[in-house]
Amino acid sequence: MSYARFSHTSDIYVYCGAISWHCCGCFLQLGVTFSAEEPRSMADHVREHIDAGDLVPDGVVEALLSDADAYEAEADARALDNLTHRESEAF
């Protein structure tokens, strides 16, 4: 899914790929796509665009942060699951 696409209200194109988040054709990196392994890092990256004066649609950072909460909760659940799994294998 995409959080923002290039348009007259957006200087960034940020989307979520299969396993990571991308800032496509990133102006901060002279057109080289920036990739992050989790949404919170991408939210930080989008803030850098805002600080640099780039046009960023309202709600992009918020959407990434809300996905970050969900992503981290899921990662915690997975870690717990692995732990339980490992413990049951020990017996």
Site for Zn ion, rule CB under 5 A: 23, 26, 28, 34
Q: How far is the CB of 25 from Zn ion (least distance, A)?
A: 8
Q: How far is the CB of 22 from Zn ion (least distance, A)?
A: 9
Closest CA to 39 of 5, 63, 74, 56: 63
Q: How far is the CB of 59 from Zn ion (least distance, A)?
A: 17
What span, in angstroms and rounded, lies between the C-alpha atoms of 79 and 77?
Answer: 5
What span, in angstroms and rounded, lies between the C-alpha atoms of 64 and 43?
Answer: 6
Instruction: Look up tokens 């004066």; give the residue.
Output: 53
User: Is 25 or 71 the residue whose CB approaches Zn ion more closely?
Assistant: 25
User: Is 62 or 81 the residue whose CB approaches Zn ion more closely?
Assistant: 62
User: Is 4 or 23 the residue whose CB approaches Zn ion more closely?
Assistant: 23
What span, in angstroms and rounded, lies between the C-alpha atoms of 45 and 41?
Answer: 6
